[in-house]
Amino acid sequence: MSQQIRNFCIIAHIDHGKSTLADRFLELTGTVEKRKMHEQYLDSMDLERERGITIKLQPVRMNYSYQGTEYMLNLIDTPGHVDFSYEVSRSLAAVEGAILLVDASKGVQAQTLANLHLAQQQKLVIVPVINKIDLANARTTQVKEELAYLLGIEPTEILEISAKNGLGVEQVLQKVIDQVPAPMSDTGVLQALIFDSTFDTYKGVLAYIRVFGGSLNQQQAIVAFATRARAEVLEVGYFSPGLVQAKDLNAGEIGYIATGLKDPGQIRVGDTITLPKMIDDKIFKPLAGYKEPRPMVFASFFPEKAEEYDELRDALGKLKLTDASLTYEPESSTGLGRGFRVGFLGMLHVEIISERVHREFNLNLIISTPSAEYEVVLKNGETLHIRSVATLPDPSQIESIAEPMVAMELLLPVSYMGSIMEMIATYRNIYRATEYIGKETALLKYEMPLAEIVTDFYDKLKSVSSGYASMSYEPIGVQKGDLVRLDILIAGDIVEPFSRIVPREKAFYEGRAMVTKLKDIVPQQMFEVAIQAAIGGKVVARETIHAHRKDVTQHMYGGDITRRQKLWKKQKEGKARMKEVGRVNLPQDVFLKMLKR
């Protein structure tokens, strides 16, 4: 049976048409009835449809008849944004082939390259496809040459399609059957790789698995090799695209099992499911797990209402089950109470998680300015890893602060090279190289502090290049720098979520930019509010929000001017008293607006 199975995924840069191609496959194979079909069918989250992007990988089984033989095609639709490349690495571990999809108008982009390298490391068979050839601005011939150059193949081997209107889509499925190898048939000991998981109130943890050896059926006793969690399979099945119960899952197949386990931490992505007797078997080797994601950006989440701390903890626990890259640890702040320091893969990831906490769990959050993880060496020789500015020791105790560095690749049309290099010059950077892919595409290589790119770098890059440039980056270690803590004070109180670590030479400009922005977004109060940026005890920038003025003489229809002056004086004295004791309560949208520069 395994000779008729093909396991493959679609990899591409964001917005190159992965989900649309997956939609056409579902129609073509009759997996979803035409009347039930809608765009981005596999993107099950409302957030995915609203933003037009894929956030979660999504598996589906399709049946397709080709040259008189019935084939089982297991497809995994993957995200394309740089923040979600860990989802791609999970999919690649479960398949034998990958469709590399490239937009005919945009050409090869940074995430196309990054995902291609991941697929080549896994030794997957690559099926190259150019999409959107029906667009008026399609550069099909040129993009074909770029792709052929990258893969070291002839341009004639690359398929041309339009996923939107279905042109050439059937040839893609046929090429997958012809070129992607069938999974190796292994009827021996049970070995299944967990590539994703989710939680069901009744069935417990659902593990999404690829069976590499043996078979799985209902009531079978199993164990997760790394966590030693034992369970009995309550249900076994596959995705079509909803969950469909089956009798069993055999070697080469992709599906799910309901474990009945109530603790999400017991089922880990990348772990191997096997038989309990194998735990003590010295010869048994678990499957090689996928690359463990490392958080790059850290932000603090505090519930708006202190009593909702437990609900926030439960919400993060449930989100972690479907998002293996999410890390969090408890944290407390004098002004904001108890919360969590949460680790993310990038800024889009921060936005997505905060939005999901709000929508799915109805919690309002106060979110700190995202930062990287710093390495602080104290004068006594001790080394600390600082993820939150609040935990930074007193400057008198610090010997040095080192910040994480990344190797960054930018892929762009040659015509935008000048303006992009000018933009990069405004950030701290080390230029490394320029390479050319084809005649009109350049690859720029830089090394930069991660702190420079976590907030608005991606948005500025898209703006300067009219959306044509793209980026990917990976960590390369840490580098010492002259870094200081910058605090923001509102009405004399330090607002911890706005504190950040910045290079000394940029502290004034950062402080000035922050207080100017806060002046525009902090609501006016009944008293005058000072917004200050400070390093240690020294104020480097200040703005003032004038008091909200109420007309206390509105009820008067004449009379002596001294009566009005008496009321104005009384109002002025009241505002002076409020200024001394008044505190400013910041609404959640102020914190969210400060997330974006």
Whether the CB-CB separation of 528 and 542 falls below 8 Å is answered with no
pLDDT beyond 60 at 237: yes
Task: Give the pLDDT of residue 38.
Answer: 46
Q: What angle is formed at CA 81 by the lines to CA 143 and CA 46, rounded to 5 degrees?
A: 120
Distance CA 170, CA 161 (A): 9
What fold is seen in the domain 191-280?
Elongation Factor Tu (Ef-tu); domain 3 (2.40.30)
Other Cβ atoms less than 10 A from the Cβ of 377: the count is: 15
Spatial CA neighbour of 268 closest among 187, 208, 335: 208
Known binding site: residues? Answer: 15-20, 131-134
* Torsion (CA) 367, 369, 374, 376 in degrees, nearest 10: -90
Task: Give the pLDDT of residue 45.
Answer: 45
Dump pLDDT digits (tens) for 352-386: 788 888 888 888 888 877 788 899 999 888 898 88
Lowest-confidence region among 200-204, 270-274, 561-565: 561-565
Distance CA 101, CA 103 (A): 7
What end-to-end distance do the CA atoms of the chain give, in Å? 55
Most confident of 173-177, 193-197, 348-352, 559-563: 173-177
Task: Give the pLDDT of residue 460.
Answer: 86
Q: Which residue has the higher pLDDT, 483 or 113?
A: 483
Mean pLDDT of the region 233-252 = 88
DSSP letter at 40 equals T
* Furthest C-alpha separation in the chain: 102
Whether the CB-CB separation of 286 and 226 falls below 8 Å is answered with yes
pLDDT beyond 80 at 421: yes
pLDDT beyond 60 at 43: no
What's the 3-state SS for 12-33? ECCCCCHHHHHHHHHHHCCCCC
Residue type, 457: F
- Per-residue confidence band for 432, with pLDDT thresholds at 50, 70 and 90: very high
pLDDT beyond 90 at 345: no
CATH code for the part of the protein at 375-481: 3.30.70.240
Class of domain 485-595: alpha beta
Whether the CB-CB separation of 227 and 267 falls below 8 Å is answered with yes
Task: Give the pLDDT of residue 331.
Answer: 85
Whether the CB-CB separation of 135 and 106 falls below 8 Å is answered with no
For 435, list phi and psi in degrees, rounded to 5: -125, 160
Q: Which two tokens stand for residue 525?
A: 């109060």
Which residues neighbour 572 within 8 Å (Cβ) at sequence distance 6 or greater?
Answer: none
pLDDT beyond 60 at 37: no
Lowest-confidence region among 157-171, 349-363, 550-564: 550-564
Mean pLDDT, the chain, integer: 81
Packing angle, helices 457-464 and 417-424, rounded to 10: 150
Task: Give the pLDDT of residue 50.
Answer: 45
Bridging pattern class, strands 383-386 and 374-378: antiparallel
Task: Give the pLDDT of residue 157.
Answer: 93
pTM, two decimals, is 0.71
Dump pLDDT digits (tens) for 82-97: 555 555 666 788 889 9
Q: Which residue has the higher pLDDT, 508 or 225?
A: 508
Task: Give the pLDDT of residue 144.
Answer: 92
What are the residue boundaries of the structural domains of the chain, listed by start? 2-179, 191-280, 297-370, 375-481, 485-595
Lowest-confidence region among 74-78, 326-330, 474-478: 74-78
pLDDT beyond 50 at 42: no
Question: If phi over 0 gives left and psi between -120 and 50 gives alpha, with beta otherwise, what is residue 567?
Answer: alpha
Mean pLDDT of the region 136-143 = 90
| CATH architecture group of domain 2-179 | 3-Layer(aba) Sandwich (3.40)
Whether the CB-CB separation of 212 and 195 falls below 8 Å is answered with no
Task: Give the pLDDT of residue 34.
Answer: 58
Whether the CB-CB separation of 297 and 344 falls below 8 Å is answered with yes
What b/e readout covers 255-294, taking b as 16+ CB neighbours within 10 angstroms?
bbbbbebeebebbbbbbbbbbeebeeeeeeebbebbeebe
Report how many helices (DSSP H) and strands (DSSP E) the chain contains, helices first.
14, 31
Q: Which helix (H) or strand (E) holds 551?
A: none
Task: Give the pLDDT of residue 40.
Answer: 42
pLDDT beyond 90 at 117: no
Task: Give the pLDDT of residue 546.
Answer: 77
Which residues neighbour 227 within 8 Å (Cβ) at sequence distance 6 or greater?
Answer: 265, 266, 267, 268, 271
Mean pLDDT of the region 253-274 = 83
Long-range contacts of 505-510 (CB under 8 A, 24+ apart): 507/535, 507/540, 508/540, 508/541, 510/486
Distance CA 279, CA 273 (A): 10
Dump pLDDT digits (tens) for 332-344: 876 667 889 898 8
Quick check: do 2-179 and 191-280 share a fold? no
> What is the length of the chain?
597
Task: Give the pLDDT of residue 553.
Answer: 57
Percent of the chain with pLDDT over 70: 83
pLDDT beyond 80 at 570: no
| CATH architecture group of domain 297-370 | 2-Layer Sandwich (3.30)
Q: Which residue has the higher pLDDT, 192 or 292?
A: 192
- Per-residue confidence band for 127, with pLDDT thresholds at 50, 70 and 90: very high
Spatial CA neighbour of 553 closest among 544, 541, 562, 543: 562
Question: If phi over 0 gives left and psi between -120 and 50 gives alpha, with beta otherwise, what is residue 530?
Answer: beta
Known binding site for GTP: residues? Answer: 15-20, 131-134
DSSP letter at 48 equals H
Mean pLDDT of the region 8-34 = 81
Task: Give the pLDDT of residue 595.
Answer: 58
Q: Which residue has the higher pLDDT, 280 or 182?
A: 182
- Per-residue confidence band for 402, with pLDDT thresholds at 50, 70 and 90: very high
pLDDT beyond 70 at 577: no
Dump pLDDT digits (tens) for 296-324: 788 888 888 888 899 999 989 888 876 76
Cis peptide before 523 (omega within 30 of 0): no
- Per-residue confidence band for 572, with pLDDT thresholds at 50, 70 and 90: low
